[in-house]
Amino acid sequence: MDFKIKKATPEKFKTDALILPVFEDTTLGTSAATLSATTKKALENALAQGDIKGKAGEVQILTAVTESAAKRIVLMGLGKATEQTESGLRKALAATASALKSTAAKDAALALDDIQVGERDAHWVARQAVELFEAAAYTFNAFKSKDNHKLVSLKKVTLLTTTDPKAVEQGAVIGKAIANGMNYARDLGNTPPNVCNPSYLAQEARKLSRGCPTLTTKILDEKQMAELGMNSLLSVGNGSDTPSKLIIMEYKGGPKSQPPHVLVGKGITFDTGGISLKPAPDMDAMKWDMCGAASVFGTMQAVVEMKLPMNVVGVVAAAENMPSGKATRPGDIVTTMSGQTVEILNTDAEGRLVLCDALTYVERFKPASVVDIATLTGAIIVALGPFASGMMSNDEAVVADLQAAADYTQDKVWRLPLWDEYQALLDSPFADIGNIGNAGPKAGSITAACFLSRFTKAYPWAHLDVAGSAFNGGANKGATGRPVPLLTEYLLRQVKS
């Protein structure tokens, strides 16, 4: 989708669909009131009919409005004019973009001047608008027949403002880069596992760096990983015919001496649970067990598109967890790259087994910070649902930056503790550490992060458990592209600091 910025008032703007904010108590915004005055009070009359109350997320589309330059007037409810909220605006923009999909409108214009969300500026509003319109327009039809392709008519959105067009333009540029990264992550997540395997992800990494002088890609195969002692990562892919890969993408946009910020993604391209086999219902959703890796790819694409003046390393631990005669068994003990031994008590707790070796590997970069992203535990879905990613960390500065990025982007996180009491639940009588807690399902997300923390003592680190936020199940199933907005904003804040 193409986004334009125009310093103009909306009443004379020619477009297929002019989007105007309205508020509760049948209140028109300034832009809508100005237009209504030239259209024989058409908008007041529409509100008076009661089909739209102005609540956040309500949308009404008017056609053939007298004296209007626009073919359609789209009334977008924002709630109370004096109490506009971030969540209310996001709900309104998403609903409006979705409503326009059902029309034949090829272009639209959104009047921004009446949108006043607390201390959020025009830059922030523009970012939200671009991200949400792009998200609504997303389709994944790569594996459907041509007759089943359903294309969205809307191709261009103009952001109208009379106050700060430069800020709007800057916000739109960043929003577009983030949206493109989210769509890339969604594409990878939605690609079926018979196509998207570790080798496919390696090819995607090479493709991403092709023609980009600031991005280089390195792929470690199983022999190279074995030489490094990455037996934990390799154990996960033992049962698969598809070889595991460690994918390293280095973006060098800053000074050579500048320590990089590192993103590490769990890339389990399909997770049967291994010998600890998952139940059959909904196992198809386990193609999304690589959404942590997908978010690393999406964020790296956004970084490249924005040409950020910093150094970033994206690492993906890619494997397929399958049952076979060669598969790792519960009770096996493996030696990690760090030298620590792990008793594998449940082969379905495999994400931490690939991540721990990747987290040891990245020590060589002497990172400024490391954030790992993983669909790690079902327990986080029980705790937080689909609304927030779980966050655990060994560094308060990283926590503060991630929390600020989450608040700004509305890609939400919630911090959980890593107390010593939880660490003790990982004790094993036969190895240095067990791969699951010995108290059953209790505190499953926390004990998983405690496991990872054993391998992150050399640098500031945070863990994001995105099992609830990275994909949707049910009728609207599919990858969401999260937490690309959060990760990208986190990196932007490192540039600013």
Domain map (residue ranges) of the chain:
2-161, 184-496
pLDDT over threshold 70, residue 245:
yes
pLDDT over threshold 90, residue 57:
yes
Instruction: Please state the CATH superfamily assignment of the domain spanning residues 2-161 in this structure.
Output: Leucine Aminopeptidase, subunit E, domain 1 (3.40.220.10)
Q: Which helix (H) or strand (E) holds 429?
A: none
Among positive and negative, which fits the CA dihedral 168, 111, 182, 467? positive
- pLDDT grade for 32, boundaries at 50, 70 and 90: confident
What is the reported pLDDT for 44? Answer: 85
Identify whether 352 is a catalytic site residue. yes
Instruction: Tell me the HSE value of 421 on the side-chain side, using a 13 A CA sphere.
Output: 3
Look up residue 69 and give its DSSP letter: S
pLDDT over threshold 80, residue 151:
no
Domains 2-161 and 184-496 share a fold: no
What is the reported pLDDT for 50? Answer: 87
User: pLDDT tens, 327-362?
Assistant: 999 999 999 999 999 999 999 999 999 999 999 999
What phi and psi, each to the nearest 5 degrees, are found at residue 423?
A: -60, -35
Percent of the chain's residues with pLDDT above 90 = 87
- Do residues 363 and 458 touch, judged by C-beta distance below 8 A? yes
Q: Of these residues, 287, 352, 454, 482, which one is catalytic?
A: 352
Closest to 230 in 3D by CA, of 340, 120, 329: 340
Identify whether 176 is a catalytic site residue. no
Q: What is the mean pLDDT of the chain?
A: 95
Look up residue 462 and give its DSSP letter: E
User: pLDDT tens, 115-136?
Assistant: 999 999 999 999 999 999 999 9
What is the reported pLDDT for 147? Answer: 63
What is the reported pLDDT for 476? Answer: 87
Q: Tell me the one-letter amino acid at 365.
A: F
Cis-peptide into 192, omega within 30 deg? no
- Do residues 197 and 271 touch, judged by C-beta distance below 8 A? no
| Beta carbons within 8 Å of 330's beta carbon, 6+ residues apart | 275, 276, 344, 345, 346, 347
Instruction: Tell me the HSE value of 232 on the side-chain side, using a 13 A CA sphere.
Output: 30
What's 184-496's CATH class?
alpha beta
What is the reported pLDDT for 475? Answer: 83
Mean pLDDT of 44-69: 89
User: pLDDT tens, 158-212?
Assistant: 999 998 999 999 999 999 999 999 999 999 999 999 999 999 999 999 999 999 9
C-alpha R_g of the chain:
24
pLDDT over threshold 90, residue 25:
no
User: pLDDT tens, 433-492?
Assistant: 999 999 888 999 999 999 999 999 999 999 999 999 999 988 889 999 999 999 999 999
- pLDDT grade for 390, boundaries at 50, 70 and 90: very high
DSSP assignment of 142-197 equals TTS-GGG----S--EEEEEESS-HHHHHHHHHHHHHHHHHHHHHHHHHHS-TTTSS
What phi and psi, each to the nearest 5 degrees, are found at residue 171?
A: -65, -40
pLDDT over threshold 90, residue 28:
no
What is the reported pLDDT for 97? Answer: 97
pLDDT over threshold 70, residue 149:
no
- pLDDT grade for 148, boundaries at 50, 70 and 90: low
Region for residue 40 given its phi and psi (left: phi exceeds 0; alpha: psi -120 to 50; beta: otherwise)? left
What is the reported pLDDT for 474? Answer: 84
What is the reported pLDDT for 150? Answer: 66
What is the reported pLDDT for 338? Answer: 98
pLDDT over threshold 90, residue 37:
no
pLDDT over threshold 90, residue 240:
yes
Percent of the chain's residues with pLDDT above 70 = 99
User: pLDDT tens, 451-466?
Assistant: 999 999 999 999 999 9
Q: Of these residues, 206, 278, 415, 493, which one is catalytic?
A: 278
- pLDDT grade for 30, boundaries at 50, 70 and 90: confident
Mean pLDDT of 420-433: 97
Q: Answer yes or no: pTM beyond 0.95.
A: yes
What is the reported pLDDT for 157? Answer: 98
